[in-house]
Amino acid sequence: MNNAKISLIFVVMSFVYSSNVMSSDYRWNFNIETGAAWQSRNDVQIPSDTGTRFSLTDLVGEGPFVFYRLELFYDIKPRHQLRFLIAPFRYTDSGVLSKNVLFVDQTFSAGQATEATYQFNSYRFTYRYLFFNGQQWRWWIGATAKIRDAEITLRQGATAARDSNIGLVPLLNLYGDYQFADKWRFIVDFDGLVGPQGRALDLGLKVQYDVTKQWYLGGGLRTLEGGADNDEVYNFAWFNYAVVNVGYRF
């Protein structure tokens, strides 16, 4: 085979490869996810050395609690993508403590009606790179900067105590897209990292249907587990979600 034929084959393969990477005519993608969340674990001890460890799940129950998440994706160029995520979450509910609890600087008595507020708002910025682009599977890998806005409040009659925390957490990002039928996709969406003083793991598994080239619908499951164990705070929670989502490409 002469050099001219080799060059022609290379050009054709490059064109097909580039077209496959740019699988969409749209560079923006807006997605709304909502549904119900259940807490299977939510253990708290503040301060972590002198406070009383107790369970918010035992106090107010597993749920369900309504949630929503907003995502905006932008394809910078082939293989390079940015994601912006807003995921607020907050509930206020009541129950009865099974033991006396020292929380922050207040003591809450057993057997008394107690109101609990739990907040964990998450704001994330992600850069990811398309490292595998096959006939059915596509995989991105990247990094996420997460800002958490957390708060736990207990209130019992005139007695109230509150602990809040805002911090920046680095996470790894992995995103998979499997086209198993015409207009149908299976989505794997993961943010997570484990460190010596805590962890954050957020995994979504969804099925998505392209209603048109721009509109799509989906649904599935999400699980979020993590927390911190340091000199000031002990809090580990595990939430499971039933989700539906709708998106628009433009």
In a domain, 15, yes or no: no
Number of domains forming the structure of the chain: 1
Q: Is residue 143 part of a domain?
A: yes
Q: Tell me which residue of 210, 222, 219 sits closest to 248, measured CA to CA.
A: 210
Is pLDDT of 9 > 70? no
- pLDDT at site 197: 85
For residue 61, being part of any structural domain is answered with: yes
Distance CA 116, CA 113 (A): 10
CATH number for the domain harbouring residue 200? 2.40.128.90
Residue 218 belongs to some domain of the structure: yes
**Is 19 among the domain residues?**
no
Higher pLDDT: 25 or 222? It is 222
What is the rounded radius of gyration, in angstroms, for the C-alpha atoms of the chain? 23
Residue, of 25 and 112, whose pLDDT is higher: 112
CA distance 126 to 143: 6
Mean pLDDT over all residues of the chain?
Answer: 92
Let me know: does 146 contact 124? Beta carbons within 8 Å. Answer: yes
Q: How large a percentage of the chain has pLDDT more than 90?
A: 88
CA distance 150 to 89: 9
**Predicted confidence (pLDDT) per residue in 10-42, tens digit:** 443 443 343 344 446 899 999 999 999 999 999
Q: Check whether 101 has a pLDDT greater than 70.
A: yes
Domain, as residue range, for 74: 26-249
Does residue 204 form part of some domain? yes
Percentages of the chain per state (helix, strand, coil), in multiples of 5 = 10, 70, 20
Handedness of CA 36, 146, 123, 95 (dihedral sign): positive
* Range of lowest pLDDT (7-11, 77-81, 197-201, 213-217): 7-11
Q: What is the pTM of this model?
A: 0.88
Q: Give the pLDDT confidence of 232-243 residue by residue, as tens digits.
A: 999 999 999 999
How many Cβ atoms from other residues are within 10 Å of residue 34's Cβ? 14
Q: Please, is 78 exposed, middle or buried when counting C-beta atoms within 10 Å of its C-beta (0-12, 13-18, 19+)?
A: middle
**Contact criterion met (CB below 8 Å) for 46 and 152:** yes
Is residue 13 classed as helix, strand or coil in its secondary structure? helix
Residue 6 within any structural domain of the chain: no
Confirm whether 135 is domain-assigned.
Answer: yes
Query: Considering only CA atoms, which of 218, 223, 217 is closest in space to residue 206?
Result: 218
Q: pLDDT band at 1, cuts 50/70/90?
A: low
